[in-house]
């Protein structure tokens, strides 16, 4: 049973470009969460999605960031017009239902030059 | 907003010794979880303890929870070099939505051979 998959594992972008991060949850999991980790810090919640619905996006920056979890395919975290401050590790987690253990993917490390 | 805080921030011990890490949080919770993160990698779920539980064991791990003091501890017995990692506690915030995990800053544990 494959775990949570994220790709790419590493992503380099120049300021002003777009970054697309993908997450495939564990089989049978319909709840997806995105977190961001800055160097030497803990993870910070960004957004919680179920299939085709954004449930809680209270941790998402108001501009440039968006997330989706379509009926078919992976969840996508999209960052438009990236800035250096967006450089971080972005982790996706999934769970079979809310209030259960969240299983994390390996993360995507974004570097903005 | 709630934030878990781990103590100490860094811990270095000899192989074979026991390691104890503490976590404090601020608001009511459903459960508390501990995760391990090896350098540059994703998070591995270690153990979940519910708010009505006081102690839980899993192999060499022992977790306690004191909801009156809003604190938890993680004890790793007979430490091994492979236990070297950062350890994070995470709580679900009943007030803000139980689906999001709130992480502490982590304890960086180093096991010296």
Interface check for A34 against chain B (CB to CB < 8 A): the answer is no
Examine residue B8 and say whether the peptide bond preceding it is cis (omega within 30 degrees of 0).
yes
The confidence score (pLDDT) of residue B100 equals: 84
Which chain A residues contact residue B92 at CB under 8 A? 99
The confidence score (pLDDT) of residue A41 equals: 81
For residues B78 and A16, what is the distance between their CA atoms, to the nearest angstrom? Answer: 50
Q: Using CB atoms, pick whichever of A41, A45, A105 lies closest to residue B42.
A: A105
Interface check for B1 against chain A (CB to CB < 8 A): the answer is no
Q: Using CB atoms, pick whichever of A45, A48, A91 lies closest to residue B43.
A: A91
Per-residue model confidence as pLDDT tens for chain B (113 residues): 335 678 888 999 999 999 999 999 988 888 899 999 998 888 999 999 999 999 999 999 999 999 999 999 999 999 999 999 999 999 987 666 667 888 988 999 999 99
B99–A98 C-beta distance less than 8 A: yes
User: Which of these, A93, A88, A95, lies nearest to A30 by C-alpha position?
Assistant: A95
The confidence score (pLDDT) of residue A104 equals: 93
% of chain A residues with pLDDT over 90: 76
Interface check for B42 against chain A (CB to CB < 8 A): the answer is yes
Q: Which of B6, B28, B42 to mutate to test the interface with A (most CBs of A within 10 A)?
A: B42
Q: Which residues pair with A79 in a beta bridge?
A: A19, A65
Which chain A residues contact residue B96 at CB under 8 A? 58
B-proximal residues of A, 74-113, CB under 8 Å: 91, 93, 98-99, 101-107, 109
Q: Which of B33, B38, B43 to mutate to test the interface with A (most CBs of A within 10 A)?
A: B43
The confidence score (pLDDT) of residue B108 equals: 94
The confidence score (pLDDT) of residue B85 equals: 96
> Which contacts (CB < 8 Å, 24+ apart) does range A52-58 have?
A55/B99, A56/B97, A56/B99, A56/B100, A58/B96, A58/B97, A58/B100
Does residue A42 surpass a pLDDT of 90? no
pLDDT digits (tens, 9 = 90+) for A63-104: 999 999 998 999 999 999 999 999 999 999 998 876 578 899
Whether A32 contacts A94, CB under 8 Å:
yes
Q: Which of B23, B35, B99 to mutate to test the interface with A (most CBs of A within 10 A)?
A: B99
* The two structure tokens encoding residue A54: 């954004």
Q: Are strands B107-112 and B10-14 parallel, antiparallel or unpaired?
A: parallel
């Amino acid at each position: 049973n494959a775990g949570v998959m994220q790709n790419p594992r590493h992503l380099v972008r120049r300021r002003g470009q777009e970054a697309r991060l993908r997450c495939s949850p564990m089989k049978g999991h319909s709840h997806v969460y995105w977190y961001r980790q800055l160097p030497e810090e803990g993870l910070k919640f960004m957004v919680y999605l179920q299939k085709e619905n954004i449930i809680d996006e209270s941790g998402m920056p108001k501009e440039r960031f968006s997330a989706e979890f379509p009926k078919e395919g992976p969840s996508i975290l999209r960052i438009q017009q990236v800035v250096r401050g967006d450089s971080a590790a972005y982790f996706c987690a999934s769970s079979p239902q809310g209030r259960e253990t969240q299983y994390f993917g390996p993360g995507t490390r974004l570097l903005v030059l | 907003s709630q934030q878990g805080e781990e103590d100490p921030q860094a811990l270095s011990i000899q192989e074979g010794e026991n390691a104890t890490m503490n976590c404090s949080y601020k608001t009511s919770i459903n459960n508390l979880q501990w995760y391990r993160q090896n350098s540059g990698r994703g998070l591995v779920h270690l153990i979940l303890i519910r708010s009505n539980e006081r102690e839980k064991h899993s192999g060499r791990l022992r977790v306690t929870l004191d909801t009156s003091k809003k604190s938890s501890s993680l004890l790793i017995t007979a430490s091994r070099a492979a236990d070297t990692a950062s350890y994070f506690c995470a709580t679900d915030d009943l007030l803000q939505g139980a689906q999001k995990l709130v992480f502490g800053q982590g304890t960086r544990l180093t096991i010296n051979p």
